[in-house]
Amino acid sequence: MKRKMRILYKREWWVIFFILGFFFINYPIIHIFNKDFIIFGYPIFFLYLIMGWFCSIMVIFIYAWISEHRL
């Protein structure tokens, strides 16, 4: 388990997530969610932005936490 965690220390992961985030927040990916569609009572675009944003914060949190605690 610890070995697997160590793989995540690599700086390249940050670059990958950075690029992934950039793609997810831009056209054409957002075009997929930019629809007049209600899901669980919420507009899908609103949900996508809020959830996506929160998830990316969680990703940073997890990685920062791992590298801080040196699992």
In 3D space, the residue among 12, 7, 32, 23 whose CA is nearest the CA of residue 56 turns out to be 23
Query: Two tokens at 29?
Result: 């990916």
Residue 4 or 9 having the CB closest to another protein:
9
Q: Which amino acid is at 44?
A: I
**Cβ distance to another protein smaller for residue 7 or 41:** 41
Place of tokens 């936490």: 65
By CB under 8 A, the residues from 19 to 48 that bind another protein are: 21-22, 25-27, 30-31, 34-36, 38, 41-43, 45-46
Interface residue list for another protein (CB under 8 A)? 11, 14-15, 17-18, 21-22, 25-27, 30-31, 34-36, 38, 41-43, 45-46, 49-50, 53-54, 56-58, 60-61, 64, 67-68
